[in-house]
Amino acid sequence: MSNPSPLILVLCTGNSCRSHLAEGLLRAASKGQFQVASAGSKPAGYVHPLAIQVMKEIGIDISAHHSKHLNEFLNQPVETVVTVCGNADQVCPTFPGQLNRHHWGFDDPAHATGSEEEKLAVFRRVRDEIRRVFEAYAAGRLDEAKR
């Protein structure tokens, strides 16, 4: 019987933007080798519509994601925790079975101001920054798994 794939949990404060962008990108980049979930320390209760829109632009559908509290994962074997905002990094508990912890901070696109187009530009920039980091991380993990 094979071991279930490791769970990578991406955390931020509101679990409405950055952690969902990262979850969708990491799930796509890891080619099914990992379970990927996201949560927040103070969940906003929704996934930001512009986050859904900018992911759709690159062919990743996160419209079924929902905002959830990190406590939902306290009784699950979380192998790796990745925080994508400073506040979540400070309040992050240690999960059962946790082996790794990474902190990669990104701007919160939910705070973008201006026209819809200006806000979209911020969401796209943050999506692309997250994409670079998480695709590189997934590639490293996949290489490691081959050895």
In the chain the first and final C-alpha atoms are separated, in Å, by 20
CA proximity to 126, closest of 106, 111, 110, 112: 106
Instruction: Please calculate the CA angle 92-97-103 and round it to the nearest 5 degrees.
Output: 35
Exactly one of 17, 26, 92, 126 is catalytic; name it: 92
Active site residue 17: no
| Catalytic entry in 85, 110, 133, 138 | 85
Q: Which of 10, 12, 25, 70 is catalytic?
A: 12
Residue 92 known to be catalytic: yes
| CA–centroid distance for 38 within its chain | 5
What beta strand segments (E) does the chain contain?
Answer: 7-12, 35-40, 78-83, 100-103
Residues taking part in catalysis: 12, 85, 92
